[in-house]
Structure 1
Amino acid sequence: MNSIPPRGAGTEAIRHMALHSARSAEPDPATDALHAIHAAGRGSRLSLPAGWLVVCAPMSGCLQLESDAGLWSLPATRMQVWRDTPLRIDCPSPGAWVGLAGPLRAWGRHLRPAPGQAAAPCIFPRQDDCPRTLRRLLVRLVRAARGYPAIEADPSLLAGALCASLLDQQRDLDEPLQRCSGRTLQRRQQTLLRLLRVRHLIEIHDDGRPDLAMLARSANYSPWHLMRMHREVFGQTPCEYASQLRLQRAWSLVRSTQLPICEITEALGFESQSSFCRAFKKSFRCTTTQARQVQADDASLAA
């Protein structure tokens, strides 16, 4: 596998990086610049070091991401924010994606503390829907960093606008952040980062049966302390969150696929088909047959 260096080996605050089919790149961990990334083609791979923050969004196709937490997919229309631990981004099928990545100190130039706050705001790691405005901003930033003639905007200004857009996208975390323990904003941010790491592990291991001891180790908490903190911040324990996600997946599989119920039961880790059907009816107040019938009726009306 060939390795290509990022374009722009100077001291620019934002460098352009192009990544093509069957190529790999691994930025210098010691750099103090942000990298505006455009990758296209099957087999392209980007390996990012520890201590970096990255936001990436597929333009087409699906990405495969891997960290010490495990392996997961990022479909089109979604975006991933990741930070702190190493991350590998693969494009296993024909497609394209854009992103911005760099060490936290480089992002810090575009994140300013709010009036009356000693610490700068934090961009938290999570997978989320990618609004069209944010996707366009990423594309414009990549083109500006490349020196595209039709883009006259300063890449640094676009990076600041991207940070503001990401912070606005994560406004729903403001209340959980306030419920985190810690006397200072920085301490509360660290607590929320730990809990979001736990939630990410639950999300990518979709068997619905989280290992509480493993989750606690990932956050450097005891299992009891993790359960208490997660409940205080998010209103439910990690196991309750896993059960919620499992039922959401059950609803999606029943409504949007024709998989036999026994296969859905096995895929989601329920003990038996009867226990799955009871849980489904208790949560959604209808049987799996009724849910599929409603879906079929809706499709007929749409046609």
Structure 2
Amino acid sequence: MHPIYRPLRSHELLDLSVPDDSLHVLHGSGRNNQLAIPSRWISVWLPLSEGIELETPDCHWLLRAGELLVWRDGALRAGSRRDGRWLAVCGSPAAWARHQRPRPGDPAVDLLPSESRCTRELRRLTVRLARVARRPDLCPLGVDAVVDMLCAALTEHQRDLHALLPRCTGRTLLRRQQTLMRLLRVQHLIRRHDDGRVDLAQLAASANYSPCHLIRSYRDVFGETPSEYAARLRSERAWQLVRETRMPVCEITAALGFESQSAFCRAFKSTFGLTTSQVRQDSCHSRLRAA
């Protein structure tokens, strides 16, 4: 069954909750459009301009232009309030499985949920797929061949994630994949909380683990605990806000969930060895030298 091209324009709502075995190639444009993806479907998202607002029962976030999301968890709602363009390829696991052909000697590993910067190759293939799905006569190879190339590029893009599978618990590859997907769900929830505050009980519940089992499993796979990962993300965001924006330190303190500005400044200097004033002064000098 060939992929189905479906444009989604301003003020349109598309609900794909009726199950089928087709891949859907979606081209969103304009503003105030919405799309509903059923649970357990695999979807690939690429904002071309502006961003896509994504929502699950657990959280809400913005996927920015230039980022790539592979989603395969709960039901997902997407839309754009601003006048932008985006592409998505979505379908059931069975629809994707027809196009996933591992290289000789490699195990048959499914696509895993991930969020990262989109490479030039993945952007090129996703845009090409949208064009060919809309006009199959433009590609002598056929639409299915372009989907095959996109799947191969996505699998290669996720090679670092696949390398984590031997660290996961489970006697079979399928069980280890399930374990990794649970931990990636936890990691996604941590990333979505910019203030660095994590509720360990809530994270454990999302993975159907006890808190102790979550800490142990997460550390075995990623080399750090969920709390350590959250603290690292908060430190990275603090550096980015101090160095690359003019946001007042008091507002950064509130945005990152610190109790007071003095507590934030002490933590910042302890982590980076510099005060916020020194970092901003150095950033200002760097911009002047570049100018």
- Aligned 8 A contact 2:46 2:69 in 1: yes
Deviations 1:59-106 (A, max 9, x none): 101110001221000110101110131111111101000111000110
Instruction: Note the C-alpha offset of 1:289.
Output: 0.8
Q: Secondary structure, in 3 states, of the residue corresponding to 1:110?
A: coil
Aligned pair partner of 2:35 in 46, 49, 59: 46
Q: Following TM superposition, by how much is the alpha carbon of 1:46 offset from its aligned partner in structure 2, in angstroms?
A: 0.8
Q: For residues 114-151 of structure 1, give each alpha carbon's deviation from its aligned partner in whole angstroms, at most 9, with x where no partner exists.
A: 5466x621211121101122111111111111125433
When residues 187 and 149 of structure 1 are mapped into structure 2, their CA distance, relative to the original with a 3 A threshold, is same
> Alpha-carbon deviation of 1:281?
1.4
Matched residue SS, 2:6: strand
Task: Tell me by how many angstroms 1:167 deviates.
Answer: 1.2
Unaligned runs of 5+ in 2: none
May I ask how many residue pairs the two structures share in their alignment?
Answer: 291
How many Å separate the matches in 2 of 1:146 and 1:262? 50
What is the percentage of aligned positions where both structures have the same residue?
49
Q: Specify the alignment match of 1:187 in structure 2.
A: 175
The answer to whether the Cα contact below 8 Å between 2:101 and 2:152 also exists between their aligned partners in 1 is: no
Q: Is the 8 A contact 1:40 1:97 kept in 2?
A: yes
> TM (normalized to structure 2)?
0.96
Q: What 5-or-longer segments of structure 1 have no aligned partner?
A: 1-11
Provide the rounded CA distance (Å) in 2 between the counterparts of 1:175 and 1:61: 33
- One-letter code aligned to 2:35: L
Aligned counterpart, 1:30? 19
Q: Distance in 2 between matches of 1:297 and 1:52?
A: 49
Deviation of 1:290 (Å):
1.0
In the aligned structure 1, how far is the partner of 2:105 from the partner of 2:172? Answer: 12
Question: TM-score with structure 1 length normalisation?
Answer: 0.92
1:144–1:152 CA contact under 8 A, matched in 2: no
AA paired with 2:235?
L
- Cα RMSD, aligned residues only: 1.4
Q: What is the aligned counterpart of 2:185 among 183, 197, 200?
A: 197
Among 261, 264, 270, the residue aligned to 1:276: 264
| Partners of 1:13 and 1:32 within 8 A in 2 | no
- Amino acid of the structure 1 residue aligned with 2:168: C
CA distance in 2, matches of 1:29, 1:84: 17
The answer to which of 59-68 and 25-34 deviates more is 25-34
Q: In the alignment, is the contact (CA less than 8 A) between 2:49 and 2:84 conserved in 1? A: yes
Where does 1:64-213 land on structure 2 (aligned, <5 Å)?
Answer: 64-113=53-102, 115=104, 120-147=108-135, 149-213=137-201
CA contact (8 A) 1:277 1:288 kept: yes
| 1:264 alignment partner in structure 2 | 252
In the alignment, residue 48 of structure 2 is paired with which amino acid? Answer: M
Matched, 1:298 2:275: no
Offset of residue 153 of structure 1: 3.2
